[in-house]
């Protein structure tokens, strides 16, 4: 059997969907699984042992220049490649217009997607041929993806031990080993302070206070600060300077390099952002905080992944801007984060 998964973006959502691969391998031994992914996130899936082929798309560039020769050539090539694979099943677990269009390019008759209540963009229903409903317990994103896939195979996933994998390269592993070896024998914490939404962030002074508080508990600790944009780099630099000589700002890593490093640190602290999901996927303990988004819906799962939700009544508002932003940031207390980190490390 040959199956196509369409989950092109975003980074956290792709990682939430990784258990689908292990599920399919367990229920259908010998299955070939392909995946459609946006170019910026290909790194997370390349080399995955449970994937046969990766189809990389550039939908943002295509939308900017829909009539350009390159756009037409790339879409035509994608269509030919997808049709040449002759898929038995296509699972559209993205649920928007672009994923529906990609599903239609395959020429496959059995295009499975979300039902009216669960689909992200209603026009997607025009492209898929089977619309599968969710169950009341399918609150977390991963459960929704697994429900969509598992319904066809009539094998519930809730009692299955499903793993995730992010393949890393030997060069990235060697670089990560060298960095960790240079830090000494103390605990190594990785802070990722940035994310795309203002309403997901934490104040710089709180990050600095957190680092200093952890140093009182773990005097030999080291702090690595990762970043993904120039603005995030500036924040990381400010926080590292505030913490002191135990903290250093990392060079910019590609996703595989970041995954290799996260495999080796003791714990990752971050807001609701892709890197914290990378850490969870490589089985590194995490403590993450959630403000405008819902930690129960999109947070890393497992007993070594602790999520802290803002206590404000308006939390989970899904707003990208808010006049109560400062109040919301400071509603997540440093002492709460320190307690969660300490409890997490005690499980080691």
pLDDT lower than 50: segments of the chain: none
Give the model's pLDDT for residue 184. Answer: 86
Q: Is the backbone peptide bond immediately before 10 cis, with ω within 30 degrees of 0?
A: yes
Give the model's pLDDT for residue 213. Answer: 98
Give the model's pLDDT for residue 33. Answer: 98
Q: What is the pLDDT of residues 295-348, one digit of tens each?
A: 999 999 989 999 999 999 999 999 999 999 999 999 999 999 999 999 999 987
List the strands of the sheet with 2-6, edge to edge: 53-57, 32-38, 2-6, 89-92, 111-114, 130-132
Instruction: Tell me the whole-structure pTM to 2 decimals.
Output: 0.93
DSSP string, 242-271: HH-TTEEEPPP--HHHHHHHHTTSSEEEEE
Give the model's pLDDT for residue 347. Answer: 86
User: What domains can you pick out in the chain, each with its CATH number?
Assistant: 2-153 (3.40.50.2000), 171-346 (3.40.50.2000)
Q: How far apart are the first and last CA of the chain?
A: 41
Q: Which residues have C-beta within 8 Å of that of residue 323, sequence separation ≥ 6? A: none
Dihedral (CA of 258, 259, 261, 265) sign: positive
Taking CB atoms within 8 Å and a gap of at least 24, the contacts of 103-110 are 103/6, 103/127, 103/128, 105/75, 105/78, 105/79, 106/4, 106/82, 107/82, 107/83, 108/4
Give the model's pLDDT for residue 75. Answer: 97
């Amino acid at each position: 059997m040959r199956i196509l998964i369409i989950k092109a973006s975003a980074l956290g959502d792709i990682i939430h969907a990784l258990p689908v691969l292990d599920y399919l391998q367990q229920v259908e031994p010998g299955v070939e699984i392909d995946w459609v992914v946006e170019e910026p996130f290909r790194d997370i899936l390349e080399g995955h042992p449970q994937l046969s082929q990766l189809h990389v798309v550039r939908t943002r560039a295509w939308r900017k220049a829909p009539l350009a020769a390159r756009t037409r050539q790339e879409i035509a090539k994608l269509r030919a490649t997808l049709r040449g694979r002759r898929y038995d099943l296509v699972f559209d677990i993205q649920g928007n217009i672009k994923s529906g269009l990609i599903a239609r390019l395959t020429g496959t008759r059995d295009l499975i997607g979300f039902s009216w209540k669960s689909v992200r963009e209603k026009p997607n229903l025009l492209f898929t041929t089977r619309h599968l409903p969710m169950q009341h317990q399918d609150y977390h994103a991963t459960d929704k993806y697994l429900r969509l896939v598992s319904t066809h195979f009539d094998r519930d996933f809730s009692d299955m031990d499903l793993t995730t994998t992010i393949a890393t390269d030997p060069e990235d592993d060697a670089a990560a080993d060298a960095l960790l070896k240079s830090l000494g024998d103390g605990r190594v914490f990785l802070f990722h302070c940035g994310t795309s939404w203002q309403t997901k962030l934490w104040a710089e002074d709180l990050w600095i206070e957190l680092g200093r508080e952890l140093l009182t508990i773990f005097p030999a600790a080291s702090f690595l600060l990762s970043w993904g944009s120039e603005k995030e780099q500036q924040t990381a630099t400010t926080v590292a300077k505030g913490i002191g000589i135990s903290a250093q700002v990392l060079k910019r890593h590609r996703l595989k390099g970041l995954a290799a490093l996260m495999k080796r640190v003791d714990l990752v602290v971050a807001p609701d952002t892709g890197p914290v999901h990378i850490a969870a996927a490589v089985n590194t303990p995490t403590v993450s905080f959630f403000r405008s988004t819902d930690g129960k819906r999109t947070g890393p799962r497992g007993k070594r992944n602790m999520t802290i939700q803002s206590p404000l009544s308006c939390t989970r508002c899904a707003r990208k801007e808010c006049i109560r932003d400062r109040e919301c940031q400071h509603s997540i207390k440093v002492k709460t984060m320190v307690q969660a980190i300490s409890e997490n490390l005690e499980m080691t």
